[in-house]
Structure 1
Amino acid sequence: MSQLDLSIEAGVSARHLSFVETGRARPSPELILRLAEQLDMPLAERNRMLLAGGYAPAYPSHELSDPELAPVRAAARHVLDGHSPYPAVLIDQHWRLVEANPAVALLTAGAEPHLLTPPINVLRLSLHPDGMAPRILNLPEWRAHLLHRLRQQAATTNDPALYELHEELRGYPGGNGHAAPINDAVSRVVIPLRYRHNDQELSFFSTTTLFGTPLDVTVAGLAIEAFFPADPTTTETLHTFALAKA
C-alpha cells in the first residue's frame, strides 16, 4: 500500500502522513489506531504502535483464567462439546492447546508423552516424528499446508515466537515425497487430512473459527480448529469411538 493509498483510506492528508512517517509531526493516538485499522494490524501490534508513539495501550490482554474471559471459555466449550463426536480443539495465538473435546484422543493416540505434556503445541504434535506424523498418510501435503498457514500468521502478526516455531517445524522430516492421489469429491475442493487409525484410513477436512469483533489481545488470538469426516467410513469410525469412550 502506498503512502497516498493509506492516507486516502485513513482520511488524512498525504502531507500530514508524510510528516508523521519522517518524524516531523507526532501522531495522535486516534490517528495511530486509524492507521492500524486500515493496515489490518493485530491488536497486540496496535498496542505496540501506541507505546512507540508515547501512549498507553488501547486493548487489554487478560489471562484465559481471568473472570473477564469466563464467557469466552464457556462459549468455546459449548462449541467443542457440540462438535462431538468429531474432533475439535481450542488453541491460542501460538497454537498451544487450550481445550479439546474427547474425540481428539483418536488423533493423538500413539503420540509420545513428551508431546502430550502441557503446554501442548498442536502443530508440533502434528508434525513431530514422535507425534501424529507417522500416521498422516499425506504428510508432505499436510505439512506444506500447515507450514504455509504458520508462515502467513507469523508475517501478519510479526510474532518472533511464530517465526521460531516455523523454523523448528520446517526442520522435521516428512517434507519429501508425494501422497498417492485420491480423486474424490473432497480432495478436489479442500486439502484433506488422511490419517491411519489402527488398520483404517480416515479422511478429514477442517474449519477454523475465530471470535468476532475481539477487543482483547488474548481473545483475538483464540481459534477453534474443527475436523469433519470426509467420507462415510470416517463418520462411522468416529461414532463408534465415541460410543466406546462413553
Structure 2
Amino acid sequence: MTTVTSGTASRTEGVGPLLRAWRQQRRVSQLELALRADSSARHISFIETGRSRPSEEMVLRLAEHLEVPVRERNALLLAAGYAPRYPETPLEDPALEVVRAGIERLIGGFEPYPALVVDAMYDVVAANRGVLALFDGVPEALLTPPLNAVRLTLHPRGLAPRIRNLREWRGHLLEQMRRNIALRRSERLRALYDEVAAYPVPDTACPEEPAEPVAYFALPMVIEHRGRTLSFVSSISTFNTPMDVTVAELAVETLLPADPATAEYLQTWLS
C-alpha cells in the first residue's frame, strides 16, 4: 500500500499512485470516482498512471470525494507540485483563540457530565471537571502531560482495573483506533495502537453478571468510581468542513449517563 510520509517523498512518488491507493482503500472504482468528480474513467486512469497531471482543483475534488483527511490533502497537493492548501496552526496560537474559547465553553457547559477534547493521537487538549474526577487514583506518571485518553483508559494502572466491562470497552476502543489508522495512515498512531493493544487485561475485566442485567441503548463504559458503579455512553463530534489541519483532527467526546442512577449521581457529583 502506498503511504504518505513526507512532502519530499510525496513529490518523488507523484500524486497518481497516492490517489490510486486512496481510491483502492475506499473501494471505489475509477468509473465511480469519475462520476462523483464529474470527470471520466479515462482521465482518472491517466492521472493514476502519471500520463496526466491533474489541476489543483482536480486534486482537491478527488480528495473530497475520497474523504481524504485534511493533512493528507496537503500531501497530495505537494505530490502534484502545488503548495499545501491547509495550514496547521498550533492550538495555542492567537489565531485559534475563538476555537479554544468555544471548546472550553462547550465542555464546561456539559458539566456535571464528563467531556474532553482529543487530537489525532488521542492526546487530551481540554477536559472538564467531570473527566478529571474520573482520573482520581490514577498514578502521577500517567497524568504527566500530554495526557493520552487511550493510554489512561487501557493501562493496567490507569482506569482499566475499574472498568467492569473492560473486554468489551477495550475492543470498542481498539476497533476505533484501527479505523483511524486506516483513515490517516499514521505511523505514530500505529505505534500507540501496538502499545495499548499489548497491555495485559486485569482480572477485574471479568466481573460477575448482575442479577438483573440492564438493557442499554448503546455499548456503555461501566466504571467504578468512589464506591459507585457508573455507566456512560460515548458521543464523538468533529468540526464541519475544517480548513486547518489542527482543527480537522480535534474530536469532542462527551460521556452521557447510560442509566437513571448515574444521571442522578452526577447531579450531586460536582455540586
1:59 and 2:86 correspond: yes
Give the letter aligned to residue 27 of structure 1.
P
1:213: which partner in 2?
241
1:236: which partner in 2?
264
The 1:4–1:137 alpha-carbon spacing in structure 2 relative to 1, beyond 3 Å, is: same
Given that 2:114 and 2:255 are in contact with CA atoms closer than 8 Å, whether structure 1 keeps it comes out as yes
1:69: which partner in 2?
96
Higher mean Cα deviation, 223-232 or 124-133? 223-232
1:145: which partner in 2?
172
Deviation readout 1:159-203 (Å, 9 max, x if unpaired)? 1111111111110112896555563232xx311010011321111
The 1:90–1:81 alpha-carbon spacing in structure 2 relative to 1, beyond 3 Å, is: same
Higher mean Cα deviation, 12-21 or 38-47? 12-21
The 1:180–1:5 alpha-carbon spacing in structure 2 relative to 1, beyond 3 Å, is: farther
SS for the counterpart of 2:270 is helix
- Structure 1 residue ranges, 4+ long, deviating more than 6 angstroms after superposition: none
Given that 1:87 and 1:226 are in contact with CA atoms closer than 8 Å, whether structure 2 keeps it comes out as yes
Structure 1: gaps (5+ residues):
none
Q: What displacement does 1:103 show?
A: 1.2
Give, in whole Å, the separation in 2 of the partners of 1:8 and 1:179: 52
Q: What displacement does 1:143 show?
A: 0.3
1:8: which partner in 2?
35
SS for the counterpart of 1:104 is helix
Give, in whole Å, the separation in 1 of the partners of 2:128 and 2:84: 35
2:8: which partner in 1?
none
SS for the counterpart of 1:103 is helix
Match of 2:70 among 13, 18, 43: 43
2:10: which partner in 1?
none
1:185: which partner in 2?
215
Given that 1:144 and 1:175 are in contact with CA atoms closer than 8 Å, whether structure 2 keeps it comes out as no
Give, in whole Å, the separation in 2 of the partners of 1:117 and 1:5: 48
Higher mean Cα deviation, 70-79 or 166-175? 166-175
Give the letter aligned to residue 233 of structure 2.
F
2:199: which partner in 1?
172
Given that 1:140 and 1:175 are in contact with CA atoms closer than 8 Å, whether structure 2 keeps it comes out as no
2:52: which partner in 1?
25
Given that 1:139 and 1:179 are in contact with CA atoms closer than 8 Å, whether structure 2 keeps it comes out as no
Match of 1:131 among 155, 158, 168: 158
Match of 2:232 among 176, 179, 204: 204
Give, in whole Å, the separation in 2 of the partners of 1:218 and 1:57: 14
Higher mean Cα deviation, 228-237 or 98-107? 228-237
Give, in whole Å, the separation in 2 of the partners of 1:218 and 1:33: 18
Given that 2:164 and 2:206 are in contact with CA atoms closer than 8 Å, whether structure 1 keeps it comes out as no
Deviation readout 1:43-79 (Å, 9 max, x if unpaired)? 0010000111111001111000111211111111111
1:113: which partner in 2?
140
Give, in whole Å, the separation in 2 of the partners of 1:74 and 1:43: 23
1:104: which partner in 2?
131
TM-score scaled by length of structure 1: 0.93
Give percent identity, aligned residues only.
47
Give, in whole Å, the separation in 2 of the partners of 1:112 and 1:122: 14
Give the letter aligned to residue 185 of structure 1.
A
Q: What displacement does 1:241 show?
A: 2.3
Match of 2:187 among 152, 155, 160: 160
Given that 2:160 and 2:202 are in contact with CA atoms closer than 8 Å, whether structure 1 keeps it comes out as no
